[in-house]
Amino acid sequence: MRPIDGGRPLVEDLRAGWRSFVAFDLLCKVISFALFAPLSAWLLRAILHGGGKMVVSNLELVSFFASWRGLLFIAVWATGGIAAWCFELGGLVLISLGVRQGETVSTSAALRFLFGHFARLLELGFRQFLVLGAAGACFLATVAATKATLLRGGDIYYYLTVRPAEYWWAAIIVAAAAIAAGAAIVLLLVRWLFAVPVLLLEGTGAQTAMAESRRLTREIGLRRIAMPLAGWALLIVLLLVLAASVHGVSRRALMAVAGGRVSLVIAMAGALLALDLLLTVAVGLIAAVSFACVVARLYAAARPAQRLPEALSVAADGRKRSVPVGLAVFGAAAAMAGLAVVFSHSLINQISFDREVQVTAHRGSALVAPENTMAALEQAIQDGADYAEIDVQQTSDGIVVLFHDTDLRRVAGVDKRTWEISYDEMKRLDIGSWFSDEFSDQRVVTLAEAMDAVRGRLKLNIELKINGHGRNLESEVVRLIRQADFESECIVTSLD
């Protein structure tokens, strides 16, 4: 086995092949975006519609992704994503190996070669998804078991706000599981480091490529692999810090130029978004190219006799040129702009620009007063809000009240569920002192009381909290709204 540097510094590889690297990677990203984004959106829409749903939200997301439809979407989406990354990595590794062997690998030749092997790359993506998915499933199972045992006694908002002892025990267990799962995934990815070049250059199947990659990494040794990978990771961290610094300085400078004028603020925000896009593309390109060069360098050390296939190998004498980098950059930018126009056309057509923007106070002005109380509603009026979003549930005797959590532990210190307590008992509870002692007089508000209190001064966004124990909550809310003649002053929503 040759030394890992192969007698040629990594920087020289980047300098010699940067035009080919940039041209291929930009075109590859455009192709991936053009195919992957619309196919992902179409697949998700088809799966949702197949289950009789238009959207899923809130806790319904968990049940959706745990269903066979959700798992199917995850499997297809993740497999496609891994395969797309293997496609990109494979092309960059081929170009890097070509540079090291004194050959020019054209962008068009690399793309043809990769598309010819795409079925096996897709199989590789699926096999890697199965293994990574098993590691992720173990972590999620630990999270679910922890919640079912340690955090089963109260609403999640209670634990996030009060943070009792069981919360910290759960946090420790989940953190340990996350570290273990993360370490396992990193080790797997390192073991698969050579799967793509082995598959492409040695003509093996996906399973054999993964097994051979594991053998090669053991042969080289994790210590010899860790040093260049650690250097690459440090480079990416430094680039991210630099990009964040550029963003921060630019944001302050652009906002200073805008000076609070709305038209200029919008223009400067657009300029900042464009800068962020440029920084994202630049960091992503450098990360992908440098990582591929590290992989090629390690692979060349393990397989010094491995040559490029004849379909790719072209003597570097200028007889066959890659796509000029300027043309690639221009083509990538034009393609992204065109795709953005195509994909956003239907969305833009749904936007009405003549609508008045209205401000909603979440759970009333919950930053200044305790949520879902009369004080929060009055504060929302003082703050000039157009709407107040409120949460409604039913007590054990069917009274519709303003309340967010499924139990009273967080705001009232009472270990009861909302459907286990009557309104007469609930209305005596202090639900303001948890926020501040000055709100100790705040009590639970009924929906009828809230509508009467804000009529003509504040509209309501009434969010239904479906907890599975209500007595036809939807019908009762509609009845109360009609009874109060409040139809024109509210909207009714639900995430459940």
Q: For the chain, how big is the Rg over CA atoms in Å? A: 29
pLDDT at residue 2 tops 60? no
Cα-Cα-Cα-Cα torsion 105, 110, 113, 118, nearest 10 degrees, comes to: 150
What per-residue confidence (pLDDT) applies to 330? 60
CATH number at residue 371: 3.20.20.190
Q: Which long-range contacts (CB under 8 A, 24 or more apart) does 222-228 make?
A: 222/190, 224/4, 225/190, 225/193, 225/298, 228/4, 228/10, 228/294, 228/297, 228/298
Residues 230 and 379 in one domain: no
Question: How far apart are alpha carbons 100 and 222 in whole angstroms?
Answer: 23
What per-residue confidence (pLDDT) applies to 66? 83
pTM over 0.85: no
Pick the closest to residue 358 from 489, 494, 496 (CA basis): 489
**Which residues, including other chains, have CB under 8 Å from residue 376's CB and lie 6 or more apart?**
361, 363, 364, 365, 366, 368, 369, 370, 388
Residues 148 and 286 in one domain: yes
Q: Per-residue pLDDT averaged across 330-346, rounded?
A: 58
For residue 391, the cross-strand partners are 463
DSSP β-ladder status, 459-464 and 490-493: parallel
In a domain, 4, yes or no: no
Cα 83 to chain centroid distance, Å, stands at 19
Question: How far apart are alpha carbons 74 and 68 in whole angstroms?
Answer: 10
In a domain, 38, yes or no: yes
Per the rule left: phi > 0, alpha: psi between -120 and 50, beta: everything else, 208 is alpha
Q: Per-residue pLDDT averaged across 174-196, rounded?
A: 96
Residues 302 and 366 in one domain: no
Give tens-digit pLDDT for 352-395.
Answer: 556 678 899 999 999 999 999 999 999 999 999 999 999 999 99
pLDDT band at 331 (very low <50, low <70, confident <90, very high): low
Q: Higher pLDDT residue, 167 or 342?
A: 167
Residues 114 and 224 in one domain: yes
**Which residues, including other chains, have CB under 8 Å from residue 439's CB and lie 6 or more apart?**
369, 370, 373, 375, 432, 433
The domain tally of the chain equals: 2
The residue segments making up the domain with residue 330 are: 10-312+325-350
Residues 244 and 337 in one domain: yes
Per the rule left: phi > 0, alpha: psi between -120 and 50, beta: everything else, 7 is left
Show which residues are catalytic.
Answer: 362, 404
Q: Name residue, tokens 């053009």.
A: 34
- Phi, psi at residue 361, to the nearest 5°? -95, 120
Question: How far apart are alpha carbons 16 and 100 in whole angstroms?
Answer: 9
Residues 422 and 489 in one domain: yes
Residues 329 and 391 in one domain: no
Residues 333 and 384 in one domain: no
